[in-house]
Chain A
C-alpha cells in the first residue's frame, strides 16, 4: 500500500495529471461502458451510480464534521432533508421556481439550519452531541410528517428537474457499449441523449452528481490544507489544548457544522430533483446511520477512503439484489466483520497511522525491559 502510494507520488507531475484525467474520464464513461460484473442487474445502472455520487457527496460533508472536526453527528440526514424540502417547496409545492434558483436557497437554508443547530448544542460534547443531533434529525422528519405546509406523510411531487441542454433531443447522442460473447461493440440502438434530464435515462443525473462531487473534492482539498483545516484537526485531537493554543474551537466547530450542512443540503436538493418526489420516508434515521457507516468504513478523516466507503455502502446493496431479503443482514454482518478486521477503517488517514505507531513505540519504551528486548530481537 505505502509502496504503491510512494511510487504514485514519485511520478513526474505531467504523468500524474494524465493519470488523474484518465481516472476522471473513466468515471464519466462508466455508465456507458456497461461493464459486465459491475453493472447492476435489474436496476438502472445510471440511477445506482447517481445514488453513489450522492452518498459520496454526503460522505464528504459528514467527513468534515466527523473526520476532520471530530464531532459525532447522528442527525446528518436532517440537513439532507432541509435541502431537499427547500428545493421541493420552491420548485413545486409553494412556488414554481426553476431548480437553478432554488438550489442556492436550499443550500443556504441547510447551512443556516446547521448554524442554528450548532450554536446552542456544540457546548455539549461527545456522545451527548451524538444524541442531540439524532434528536434534531428526528425532529425535522417528524415535523415534515405532521405539517400540512410540508405535505405531511404524502410528500411533495413534481419537483423541478435540472434544465436540459438542447431541448428534448439533447445536443447529441452517445452510444453505449455492448458486450457480446468476447466482443465489444458500439450499440447504436442504446444511446444516451447528452444532457437531457428526463425520467428514462438517469445517466445525465450521474454526470451532474459526479461533477458536483469533483468540485466539492477540490474545495475539500483546499480547506483541509488551510488554517481552518488545521484548526479542525487540532480541535479533534485535543479540544482543550487547541483552545489554550489560541484556536477559537467553538467558532471552528460551528464552521465545520455549517460546512457539513452546506454539502448535505446540496446533496439533498439534487436528490430531490432527480427523484422528482420526496416524502418523510426518504429521510429516516437509518440514512444518518448509513452515511456515518460510509464515513467510518472508508476511514474517517481520509477523503479518498470516505469516497470508497460511500461507494461501497451505496453500491453493494444494489449490486446484490438477488439476495434481496438478505441485503440488510449481509450489510450488517459486513459492518461487524470490517470493524473487527480493520478497526481504523479501510483507508485510515496517514496521520492516524503515524499516531498509532508512535503510541505503540512509546508503550514499548514505557514497558521497557523484557518488552524492549523483544522489540530489538524482532
Chain B
C-alpha cells in the first residue's frame, strides 16, 4: 500500500481516472441502450469501438497527420473524428442487420442472441487481425501495409498530437484529459437530451418499456432498434477518437478489455440507464486509477471487478437502477 504517493497525487490521479471513466462511459452507452431496448448484452460492441480506433488511425496517417501543425492538424483531427464515428456507426448497423435482426424476427431465446453476438465479435476482431491476409486475397496487400502496420501488433499515432500540460493551482493537468472529460460528458448530455426530448427518443423509450404496445402506437420497432445501434455506434466512434488521443495505440484486440470494462460500467450504474452509464463509467475510472496507485498497477483490473461485485451486492440493480423504459417521461 502506497499511501504517501496516493495522497500526494490525489488530484492528478482523479483527473486521469475521470478521463478513462469518460471513455468507458461513452462505450457503455452502446451497451446500455441496446440492453434497454432488446434486453441483450451486445457482446460485439467492443469491436465496434475497435474499428473506430482504426478508422481514426488510418485517417490521421492517410492525411499526413504526422507532419501537420496548427490549423491543419485540427482539421485532420476533426476529419478523423468523423471517420471514426462513421466507421463505428456502419459496423454497428451491419452488426444489427446480420447478427441480431434475423434472431429477433424469429423470437430466439436471449442466450442464443448472446452466442450470435460472441460469434460476431470473433469475426469482427479476426477480420481486423487478419486484415493483411484478407487484403492479400484481393491483391491489395502492398497498398495497405505501406502506411498502416499490421493489426496484430501495436499501431501507434504517438507524437502526432503534442498536447500541452496545464498548471492549475500547482497541479499539472494534461489538456488531453480535460478535453476527453469535457467532450465525453458533453456527448452524454446531448444523447440524454435526445432520448428524453426527441420523437425518436420517445420511440426508443417506449420500445424499451413495452415493444408490443409501442408498435401498436405507431413506433416502428425495427427502425427504433436500428437507431439505438446507430447512436451506440456513433458514441463508440467518439470514444475511439478520444481513446486514440489519450492512449495513442491500438491493436485488433484492443476492444476486448475495454468492452468488458465498459459493460462493467454500464452494470455499475444500472444497465439500461443512460445517466447510470455516465456515473458508472466515471466511478469505475476513478476507482481503478486510485486502486492502481494504492495497490500497484498490476491490481488495476482486480480493483475494478471487486468494486463491481461489492456494489452489486448492496445494490443488485446498479447505482441508479434500471430505467431506459421507466426513464422519467
Encoded as 1 (CB less than 8 Å from any B CB) or 0, chain A from 319 to 342 comes to: 000000110110111111011100
The answer to whether A332 touches B302, judged by C-beta atoms less than 8 angstroms apart, is: no
- Of B112, B116, B122, B305, which one neighbours A135 at CB under 8 angstroms? B305
Please, how many angstroms separate the alpha-carbon atoms of A218 and B113 in the complex? 31
Closest beta carbon of chain B to A284's beta carbon, Å: 10
A146 to B299, CA, bound (A): 8
B301 at the interface (CB under 8 A from A): yes
Report B-chain residues with C-beta under 8 Å of the C-beta of A332.
118-123, 126
B312 touches A335 (CB 8 A): no
Check A333 against B123 for contact (C-beta < 8 Å). Answer: yes
Q: Select one of A123, A146, A339 contacting B115, CB under 8 A.
A: A339
Q: Which of B98, B103, B312 contacts A128 (CB 8 A)?
A: B312
Which chain A residues lie closer than 8 Å to B41 at the CB level? 127, 130
- Give the residues in chain A near B309, CB-CB below 8 Å: 120-121, 132, 135-136, 139
User: In angstroms, how far is the closest chain A Cβ from the Cβ of B116?
Assistant: 4
Give the docked Cα–Cα distance between A338 and B116 (Å): 8
The smallest beta-carbon distance between B323 and chain A, in angstroms, is 14
User: When the two chains form the complex, which single residue of B109, B123, B130, B302 contacts A142, counting CB atoms closer than 8 Å?
Assistant: B302
Tell me which residues across on chain A come within 8 A of B127, comparing CB atoms: 329
| Cβ of A296 under 8 Å from chain B | yes
Q: Are A124 and B115 in contact (CB under 8 A)?
A: no
Complex CA distance for A228 and B153, rounded to whole angstroms? 50
Query: Could you tell me if A123 and B122 are in contact, using CB atoms closer than 8 angstroms?
Result: no
Stretch at the interface among B68-76, B201-209, B263-271: B263-271
Residues of chain A with a CB closer than 8 A to B144's CB: none
Nearest-neighbour CB distance to chain B for A88, whole angstroms, equals: 21
Residue contact B106 to A343, C-beta cutoff 8 Å: yes
Identify which of A120, A143, A332 gathers the most chain B CB atoms within 10 Å of its CB.
Answer: A332
Q: Tell me if A's interface is mostly helix, strand, loop or mixed.
A: helix
Asked if A333 and B119 sit within 8 Å, CB to CB, the answer is yes
Cβ-defined contact, B302 with A123, below 8 A: no
Task: Answer yes or no: A131 CB below 8 A from chain B CBs.
Answer: yes
Compute how far the CA of A25 lies from the CA of B122 in the bound complex, rounded to whole angstroms. Answer: 37
Q: Which of B103, B119, B305 is within 8 Å of A334, CB to CB?
A: B119
Task: Collect the chain A residues with CB atoms within 8 Å of residue B109's CB.
Answer: 343-344
Q: Classify chain A: how many residues form its interface, as a range.
A: 35 or more
User: Chain B, 288-299, contact with A by CB distance < 8 Å: what is the 0/1 string?
Assistant: 000000000011
Distance of A127 Cα from B264 Cα, bound (Å): 11
* A293 (CB) vs chain B CBs: closest residue: B115
* B26 CB–A CB distance under 8 Å: no
B312 touches A134 (CB 8 A): no
| B interface footprint on A109-149 (CB within 8 Å = 1, 0 otherwise) | 00000000000110111011011101110110011011000
A289 to B113, alpha carbons, bound, how many Å?
13
Is B168 an interface residue when CB atoms closer than 8 A count as contact?
Answer: no
Q: Is the interface of B mostly helix, strand, loop or mixed?
A: helix
Q: Would you give the 0/1 interface string for A61-79, flagging 1 where the beta carbon is closer than 8 Å to chain B? A: 0000010000010000000
A300 CB within 8 Å of chain B:
yes
CA–CA, A56 and B171, complex, Å: 57
Q: Does A305 contact B (CB under 8 A)?
A: no
Give the chain A neighbours of B139 by CB distance below 8 A. Answer: none
Q: A339 with B103: in contact, given A121-B313, A333-B123 (CB under 8 Å)?
A: yes
B102 at the binding interface (Cβ < 8 Å) = yes
Known: A131-B263, A329-B122, A339-B108. A145 touches B115 (CB 8 A): no
> Is there contact, CB below 8 Å, between A325 and B133?
yes
Bound Cα distance A339, B111 (Å): 10
- With a cutoff of 8 Å between Cβ atoms, the chain B residues found around residue A208 in the complex are none
Task: Indicate if B226 sits at the interface (CB-CB under 8 A).
Answer: no
A334–B115 CA distance with the chains assembled, in angstroms: 10
Check B99 for interface membership: any CB of A closer than 8 A.
yes
List the A residue with the shortest CB-CB distance to B298: A146
Residues of B close to A143: CB separation below 8 A: 302
With A143-B302, A296-B111 known as contacts, the answer to whether A132 contacts B119 (CB < 8 A) is no
B257–chain A nearest beta-carbon distance, Å: 9
Q: Specify which chain A residues have a CB less than 8 angstroms from the CB of B108 in the assembled complex.
A: 339, 343-344
B111 touches A139 (CB 8 A): no
Q: How far is the CB of B75 from chain A (nearest CB, A)?
A: 37
B317 in the interface (beta carbon within 8 A): yes
Q: Which residues of A contact B103 (CB under 8 A)?
A: 339-340, 343
Q: List 29 A-B contacts (CB under 8 A).
A: A123-B316, A125-B316, A127-B35, A127-B39, A127-B267, A128-B312, A128-B317, A132-B309, A135-B305, A138-B302, A138-B305, A139-B309, A142-B298, A142-B302, A142-B305, A146-B302, A285-B260, A292-B114, A296-B114, A326-B133, A328-B125, A332-B120, A332-B122, A332-B123, A336-B123, A339-B99, A339-B103, A340-B102, A344-B112
Beyond A130-B41, A335-B119, A339-B119, 17 additional contacts (C-beta under 8 Å) are: A120-B309, A121-B313, A127-B35, A128-B267, A128-B317, A128-B318, A134-B260, A135-B264, A139-B305, A292-B115, A296-B112, A328-B125, A336-B116, A339-B113, A339-B116, A343-B109, A345-B112
